[in-house]
Structure 1
Amino acid sequence: MHSSDSWEQVTTGRSSAEVRRAPDGAAYAKSGSGIVRRDLLAERDRLEWLAGTDLPSPRILDWADDGELAVLTTSTVPGVAMSDLPAPSVPGAVRSLGHFLTRLHAVARESCPFERWLAVTVPVARVRVDQGLVDEDDFDDERDGRSAEDLLDELVDGRPRAEKLELRDLVVCHGDACLPNFLVDPDSLAVTGMIDVHRLGVADRHLDLALAMRSISDTTLNPAYGAPAAEALLTAYGVTADPWRLDFYCLLDEFL
């Protein structure tokens, strides 16, 4: 393996970890301490589980953790991020993502040891508010200007309804199903893998659908896409989504 000193720092993307790429592009290393170290531990565990499935994801090449700083080195997933595709590729890519999410959500949830249902994630949201970890400047437009405490009250008020509804829709979710986290073959547009899987776990399928549709609809971040492409995702996935739950899971994501 190459000396890490020669690895190039990656500044694109929204990862909180420091990300570096091997000179030959065959591997990436993420490192961090504190909350980032916790997320890297979660990602390592999920990649180990994914290695026993047929779902494409990075392979763990190395793991180092001294109790304060963790470094996760993984193989590079071939392909290009869905967020980087040109407009003519969007219809095919959205269909592929819909089919891939169908495949992911069809995995036997009993086989997945990771829990991301609301009994887990709402308390996490509360802790993050209490610790001042919620970025109020990064809220979605419809919640811009509101406080984290105000949004938490709304989340808690909606939790009983959402928990009743999630029971019939619990599946293995990616957990952060935005466009940069899925790679595709630029020619066939087939999904070649998913990355940044530290939030993967059993949750309501609307969690993935909500974040994927929000990402696809956001033409500021992903100008080649837009609202019609988000609707095409649902068509490819083959469900009629619950608008209330789509909004609820976007609200939940403000805290995570």
Structure 2
Amino acid sequence: MHPLAAAPDGPVAIPPVVERLAAGDAVTPVWRNELGGLTFRLGDDRYVKWFAGGHPEIDFAAEAERLVWAGPFVTVPEVLEVGRAGDDQWLVTAAIAGGSAVSPRWLADPQRAAEELGRGLRMLHDTLPVAACPFTWSVEERVARFEERVAAGPGPGDTRPGNTTPTDWMPEHRGLSIENVRETLNRMPPLDLVVCHGDACAPNTLIDDSGRFTGHVDLGILGVADRWADLAVAAWSTVWNYGPGYESAVYAAYGVEAGDADAAERIRYYRLLWDVS
């Protein structure tokens, strides 16, 4: 998981709109993201993502579009409802088989989880049709977002670190200046385009009890990009979730050699871009 995203560890107030959507089914909080958005399970067969307030990184209507587009090709949640009222926005989806790769079951078997993370990501990249994809997640768009956030600084309600000042970045990048980052991001590696998940971290990969990858969730920024934009961060997320030593399992299961200079450059580049954008 991102260091600031996790399952809630205390009582969670249920928003009125979530109570309404539950229609009498049990409501169970299952996730809180780094911006304060919440995901709830409704009964046994539905999930709802809820967020209050405006933020450019939260757009459930855009996520619903991506899920509907990807659904005929890969296993992703079926969209049941998407809506907005006042400060609230929500997305209701049908449950799909499997549990998160950061559930207790898979935290206890990180080697297998990391392998399935790589296999699942390769399946996604091999299956989604690049030429038919109407969405992008390009370096240019993401660098522009970085520049916008640096220029604006943190705004009201913008509580996510990692985008505005070097002290907010991950430890690997805190020695860099804004200018260092610009110089690095201007040296984009050659592109190897696929349809990327956009947030291919371990929590967004589902695995069943037998240890088989079953699907992906949280595809709100799915789009065409270099495969390493997903792959570098997917492997990085194993460090946050399982500890060191499992990145190589992701790369091996995906089917790439990550030990040469070209791969190392791509990994460094896309991890920096992820951190600052």
Of 46, 49, 55 in structure 2, the residue corresponding to residue 30 of structure 1 is 49
Question: Is residue 7 from structure 1 mapped to residue 27 from structure 2 by the alignment?
Answer: yes
Deviations 1:27-49 (A, max 9, x none): 11122231168432221111111
TM-score (norm 2): 0.77
1:242-253 correspondence to structure 2 within 5 Å: 242-253=263-274
Determine which structure has the larger helix proportion and give its number: 1
Q: Is the contact between residue 206 and residue 245 of structure 1 (CA under 8 Å) also seen in structure 2?
A: yes
CA distance in 1, matches of 2:107, 2:37: 30
CA distance in 1, matches of 2:81, 2:89: 11
Of 56, 62, 66 in structure 2, the residue corresponding to residue 46 of structure 1 is 66
Query: Shift in Å at residue 135 of structure 1?
Result: 1.1
- For residue 15 of structure 2, what is the aligned residue in structure 1? none
- For residue 169 of structure 2, what is the aligned residue in structure 1? 139
- For residue 101 of structure 2, what is the aligned residue in structure 1? 82
% same residue: 31
Structure 1: 5+ residue stretches without partners: none
Sort the Cα spacing of 1:90 and 1:19 in 2 relative to 1 into closer, same or farther, 3 A: closer
Query: Shift in Å at residue 15 of structure 1?
Result: 5.9
CA distance in 2, matches of 1:159, 1:138: 18
Deviations 1:74-100 (A, max 9, x none): 112321211223466333333322222
- For residue 128 of structure 1, what is the aligned residue in structure 2? 149
CA distance in 1, matches of 2:35, 2:122: 26
- For residue 206 of structure 2, what is the aligned residue in structure 1? 183
Runs of 4+ in 1 over 6 A off after TM superposition: none
Q: Is the contact between residue 30 and residue 72 of structure 1 (CA under 8 Å) also seen in structure 2?
A: yes
CA distance in 1, matches of 2:195, 2:272: 20
- For residue 190 of structure 2, what is the aligned residue in structure 1? 165
TM-score (norm 1): 0.83
- For residue 223 of structure 2, what is the aligned residue in structure 1? 201
Query: Shift in Å at residue 65 of structure 1?
Result: 2.3
Q: Is the contact between residue 61 and residue 83 of structure 2 (CA under 8 Å) also seen in structure 1?
A: no
Amino acid in structure 2 at the alignment position of 1:43: E
Instruction: Compute the RMSD of aligned alpha carbons.
Output: 2.6
Structure 2: 5+ residue stretches without partners: 1-20, 155-159
- For residue 62 of structure 1, what is the aligned residue in structure 2? 81
Query: Shift in Å at residue 216 of structure 1?
Result: 1.0
CA distance in 1, matches of 2:202, 2:58: 23
CA distance in 2, matches of 1:67, 1:245: 42
CA distance in 2, matches of 1:231, 1:195: 23
Query: Shift in Å at residue 175 of structure 1?
Result: 1.2
Sort the Cα spacing of 1:102 and 1:11 in 2 relative to 1 into closer, same or farther, 3 A: closer
